[in-house]
Amino acid sequence: MTPDDFHLSSFLPYRLAVLSERVSRRLSVEYGRTHGLAVAEWRVMVHLLRCGAVSVRDIHNCVNLEKPRVSRAVSRLEAEGLVEKTQGEGDGRLVAISLTDAGRRALADIIPAATRIEGHLTDAVSPEDLATFFRVMERMHAVLDDDPEAKPRTVMDLDRDAKIMPSPV
């Protein structure tokens, strides 16, 4: 391909970024309006719902957020009473983060809305096409897994079906 024929609008990374950002933004309208959550907070809470009391490091390893971002998201959530930090009994460094009842209530509110938006997107394509879509995404991830220049995938993204075993806390 000669450089002159290069089209940004047909460039895969660009297309991915545009769609992803559009979807994310649409979603944050939802949980931002209802509970003032940003993406990082949303990911943290959802992870807590599944994995109970976990450490910052565990969240960092699972939901694709840098450690400082997790730490700060947790602080904000704690300030809003959606999450609580309790000093772990064993390892003095680890912190056990878990949802409060208010946090669970908030999720019970947001998750259906999020699922509904996801449904709008997925319902628009046939199940076979959707399966292909996810399969292609997985293939691309696999390519990056073999690329030493690419950032490794998180454990949770790798073994999507693996049993969740949060690090002991």
Which of positions 64-123 make contact with DNA (CB under 7 A)?
66-69, 71-72, 74-75, 85, 90-95
Size of the site for DNA (CB under 7 A): 25
Rounded Cα–Cα distance for residues 23 and 20 (Å): 5
User: Quick one: what does residue 26 bind among DNA, its own copies, none, with the CB cut-off 5 to 8 Å set by partner type?
Assistant: its own copies
User: Quick one: what does residue 56 bind among DNA, its own copies, none, with the CB cut-off 5 to 8 Å set by partner type?
Assistant: DNA
Binding test (CB under 7 A) with DNA, winner from 45, 51, 55, 107: 55
One-character DSSP codes across 62-94: HTT--HHHHHHHHHHHHHTTSEEEEE-SSSSS-
Contacts of 106 (CB under 8 A, 6+ apart): 35, 37, 45, 82
- Give the closest residue to 117 by CA, choosing from 11, 32, 6: 32
Interface residues with DNA (CB under 7 A) are 38-40, 55-58, 60, 66-69, 71-72, 74-75, 85, 90-95, 167, 169
